[in-house]
Each structure stands twice: as structure tokens, then as C-alpha cells.
Structure 1
Amino acid sequence: MSKDIATRVTTGVQALALPGEREGWQAQHRGSLLTDGQSYDALADAIEADLKARRLDGDLPWGISAAYRARKRVKPLRDAARAMRKAAKAINGTVAAYEETQPEVVLQRRADKALRKGQRKQQLQATAHNSAQQTLRRLAPADDDGPAGEAKVLGDFFGPNNGQRRGA
């Protein structure tokens, strides 16, 4: 029995690793799980209908007790059907995980991310440079010594050449 499980696991992993066989594996296992879930639901419906029809001495009128007893007895089958549908969804997630972790897909995603990061960084540097240049142009008005926009130091604005001294 364990050899059978080991063989199935090995072939399943091999099928997931190959892009051409991945869809077939997904369809086969998802289909079998959904079929099992439908079988459990049908079985639960049949058992519930049979148990509702059986009246016992001491039951409440209108079949309330029998209906409650029937729902209680088929609850494990309904849970099993729900688990099969959940497992079928998990098959889709497993296949998606294999598709997302293909080496070439991961490398392409990383390269795209690095490119976007570089573009954002370059854009930020250009914005900062332009902002600094505009600030320098505003602080450096044209005068006799040089053209407008030439960088100056703060002392040039308060030195002896500037006739705007206050005080004294």
C-alpha cells in the first residue's frame, strides 16, 4: 500500500513539474474530487430522505424530530462533501504555486522588479536635482559680477559690494 502511495506521489510531483502535463493532472484530480463530493451529497440526500420517513414512537408531530435526527446523522457526509470541494480548490492552488515558482518566471519577475526600482530611483534623483537647480536659480539673482543663475555663497549677499547694509 505504501509503495502505491509513494508511486502516486512521485508521478504527481513529476506531472506538476512539467508544464504540458500539469493541466491534465489538475483536471484529473480536481474532477475526481468533485465527483466524490457529488457522490457524498447524493448519498446524504438519500439517507436523509429515508431517515425522515422513519417515524419513531415519541416523536413530535409533523416529523420535526425525524427531520432533526436525519440531519444530525447525515452531517458527517455533508462535511465530507464540503471537504472534497475544498480539496478540489486546493488542487488549483497547488498548480498555481507550481506555475508561480517556475525558475524563469521568478527570474523575470525579479528582473522586472529591479528595473522598476531603478526607474523610480532615477526619477527621484532627477526630481531632486531639478529642485536643487531651481532653488539655486532663485537664490542667485543677476548682478554686475556674473550672469543670472550662477551659484553664490551666502557671504556674497552680505559683503561690502552689496549696498544694503543695515545699522551703523
Structure 2
Amino acid sequence: MSKDIASRVTTGVQALALPGQREGWQAQHRGSLLNDAQTYDALADAIQADLKARRLDGDLPWGLSAGARARKRVKPLRDAARAMRKAAKAINGTVAAYEETQPEVVAKRRQDKALEKARRKQQLHAAAHNSAQQTLRHIAPADSDSDDGAAGQTKLLGDFLGPSNGRRRGA
């Protein structure tokens, strides 16, 4: 890569902006980062095995000191491999951000959201209307044959509670 950073950034942004080139850019960069992570892990494994095999004067028995020393020395390589895998995930997030901000995608998502809102609002109005109609039927029955009174006449709360048998509580 003999290109300077500015031209690499410019070509990267141009590749992300074009839907046809976006997948290729993603595969190339993600693959390179994951390959680097594997290389760092393999290097860390080899160095750790080599350092673990070296015994120094004053080490604890059973190789405990050598193993701890080896893990301590390869920790930066393990961290670098972890960072490469994290960067590969970030590549996916970057591509997803470009896909989510396409004008057509945003317009369709907004339209779907507005339609869903209108549908929920219509359902709410229908439920409220049905509830109001049912309440009106209970309060003012439409049948004039009933012995409760004339059609459309308002009932009292006591009419819904049943016979009182002449007893009252709390009076």
C-alpha cells in the first residue's frame, strides 16, 4: 500500500457510497483485519509456548512462574488480536450505517412508520367508539318492551346492582 492516507480514505468513502462496491470494500477490509487477528493469535501462541518452556533460576516448581511470565509477555499480542476482531465488527457497522441512511430506505421506513401509526390510531378510535356504543346501550336500552321504563330513559346505578331487599349498608 504505497498510497497516502488521504487517497485511501477518499477511495474508501467513495466505495461505501456506491451500493455495488460496498460489499467488496467490506469483504476486503474485514478479511484483512480477521487475517491479522489470526496472525497475532498464532504468533502469541508460539511465543507463549517458547517462553513457557524456558525455566529460570528461582522459578516456582511445576512451571507456574514460567507460565505466568509467558502469559504476561504475550498479553499485548492477544489484545492486538482482540482489537483487530473488534475493528472487523466495526467494518460491518460502518457498512450498515451507509445502508440505513440511503434516502430510499429512510423514506420507506418513515412511510411504514406513519402507516402503522395511522392503523393503531384507527384501531384505538374504533375501540373507543365500540366501548361508547356499548355503554350507551347499557345506560339507555333501545327496547321499549322492557319494564324498566321507556326507551332511551336513563337508568340509575342502583338499577344495575340488582334488588336491594330493603336493606342498606352504612345508612
TM-score, normalised relative to structure 2: 0.78
Structure 2 runs not aligned, ≥5 long: 146-150, 157-171
Q: CA deviation at 1:99?
A: 1.2
The residue number in structure 2 matching 1:37 is 37
Instruction: After TM superposition, give the deviation of residue 151 of structure 1 in Å.
Output: 5.8
Amino acid at match of 1:18: L
Structure 2 residue aligned with 1:58? 58
Give the secondary-structure state (helix, strand or coil) at the position aligned to 2:4: helix
Q: Deviations over 1:76-100 (max 9, x none)?
A: 0011011111111111111112111
The structural deviation recorded for 1:72 is 0.7
**Amino acid in structure 2 at the alignment position of 1:76:** P
Q: Secondary structure in 2 aligned to 1:58?
A: coil
- Asked whether the 8 Å contact 1:136–1:151 carries over to 2, the reply is no
In the TM superposition, structure 1's runs of 4+ consecutive aligned residues that sit over 4 Å from their partners are: none
**SS in structure 2 of the partner of residue 56 of structure 1:** coil
Instruction: Give how far 1:63 is off.
Output: 2.0
Shift of 1:46: 1.4
Does 2:11 match 1:8?
A: no
- Map 1:6-155; keep pairs closer than 5 Å: 6-141=6-141, 142-143=143-144
Q: Which moved more, 1:55-64 or 1:104-113?
A: 55-64
The aligned length equals: 149
TM-score (norm 1): 0.79
